[in-house]
Amino acid sequence: MLANMNHELYQKIAQTKLLPLYTATDLSCLGRLEEVLVKNEVRFIEVTYRSDLATAAIKQLAASGELIVGAGTVRTLAEAKSAVANGAKFIVSPALVPEVIEYCIAEDIPVFPGTATPNDIQRACEYGIKVVKFFPADIYGGLKAINALSGPFYDVKFLPTGGINEENYLEYLENEHIIAVGGSFIISESALKKDNGQTADENLRKLVEKRDNKLK
């Protein structure tokens, strides 16, 4: 069984271009998180399995229905199942995990396996996956690597994460091989905690405005 690349989530992420990567250590920040994302029309969130609150955060955010909630740092089938059972609509992994991929394909859940080499990308393609995470993007050659990999993998789009920031995200977004960028620079719990979300809101508004000016 191959991945369904016609899933509408791919079009939506290609429009938003920004995939916030969020690690929850305090569930009381989720309301504010949602508010800031909705206000800035960034309707995606990737909640990482880097804290033991990941499933609870996914459940709470998915239940409110304002955002398209996904799970990140998914390294095991158990995490993927728990995330999907609690409302996750997409799965992101730091590596290519066959049992996670096979489960997602069977459930028609878009899955973004982590890749960094031609071999990884080839393996993803064998599952019919044509959008892959490129991680850690800065260490594995950034845009130069993506351009080189796009020679043979001309039909693949990349979601770079790792080292993407306010300074370089526009350069990535301008590249035709890139569907969107992901990272913790888009919004974070620490930014939300600073001043009731004001700093987080201002940061995100700038990111969105610059994206719109650059890509219009």
Contact residues for ligand 3PG (CB under 6 A)? 21, 73, 94, 135, 161-164, 182-185
Q: Name the active-site residue from 17, 133, 157, 189.
A: 133
Full strand arrangement of the beta sheet holding 44-48:
111-112, 90-92, 68-72, 44-48, 18-22, 181-183
Q: Name the active-site residue from 17, 34, 46, 89.
A: 46
Whole-number minimum distance, CB 188 to ligand 3PG, in Å?
9
Question: What interhelical angle do 77-85 and 98-107 show, nearest 10?
Answer: 30
CA 155 distance to own-chain centroid: 20
Query: Which secondary-structure segment (H or E) carries 47?
Result: strand 44-48
Closer to ligand 3PG by CB, 64 or 193: give it: 193
Closer to ligand 3PG by CB, 34 or 46: give it: 46
- Which residues are 20's β-sheet partners? 183
Can you tell me the distance from the alpha carbon of 65 to that of 19, in angstroms, rounded to the nearest whole number? 17
CB environment 136-164: b (16+ within 10 A), e (fewer): bbbebebbebbeebbeebeebbbbbbbeb
Closer to ligand 3PG by CB, 184 or 203: give it: 184
Active site residue 214: no
Can you tell me the distance from the alpha carbon of 144 to that of 133, in angstroms, rounded to the nearest whole number? 16
Closer to ligand 3PG by CB, 65 or 194: give it: 194
Active site residue 133: yes
Whole-number minimum distance, CB 6 to ligand 3PG, in Å?
25
User: Up-side HSE of residue 35: CA atoms within 13 Å toward CB?
Assistant: 12
Whole-number minimum distance, CB 167 to ligand 3PG, in Å?
12
Closer to ligand 3PG by CB, 16 or 184: give it: 184
Q: Is 12 helix (H, G, I), strand (E, B) or coil?
A: helix
Whole-number minimum distance, CB 8 to ligand 3PG, in Å?
23
Give catalytic residue positions: 46, 133
